[in-house]
Amino acid sequence: MDIQKNPNIPKELKNSDDYTYRHMGNSDIGTEKMLSFLGYDSIDGLMNDVVPESIRLNSSNMFNHNGKTLKGICSETLMLERMR
């Protein structure tokens, strides 16, 4: 049975495009301390310096692979559902 449609599995444990807080991530204070230590004002500034533009996801390359575009797909969950 598809895990997404199984009524015995709570919604919180199913794949979701919504972020569900399930782990101990950085607090706002922890994030600010990290950024300050690294010399950045924001996560975006850090990402702009460390993630090469050639691998960044944006609206023009989202759901494209090997020159093919997946039509009608607007989320990772929908893509995984269609692949099954």
SS (H, E, C) 19-46: CCCCCCCCCHHHHHHHHHHHCCCCHHHH
**Residue 40, exposed/middle/buried by CB under 10 A (0-12, 13-18, 19+)?**
middle
pLDDT band for position 7 (50/70/90)?
confident
Spatial CB neighbours of 17, under 8 Å, sequence gap ≥ 6: 75, 76, 77
Task: Check residue 40 and give its pLDDT.
Answer: 96
Q: What residue ranges do the domains of the chain occupy?
A: 27-83
Task: Check residue 36 and give its pLDDT.
Answer: 96
User: Average pLDDT in the 23-50 region?
Assistant: 90
Identify the residue with better confidence: 39 or 66.
Answer: 39
- Is the separation of the CB atoms in 23 and 15 below 8 Å? no
pLDDT band for position 17 (50/70/90)?
low
User: Average pLDDT in the 12-39 region?
Assistant: 79
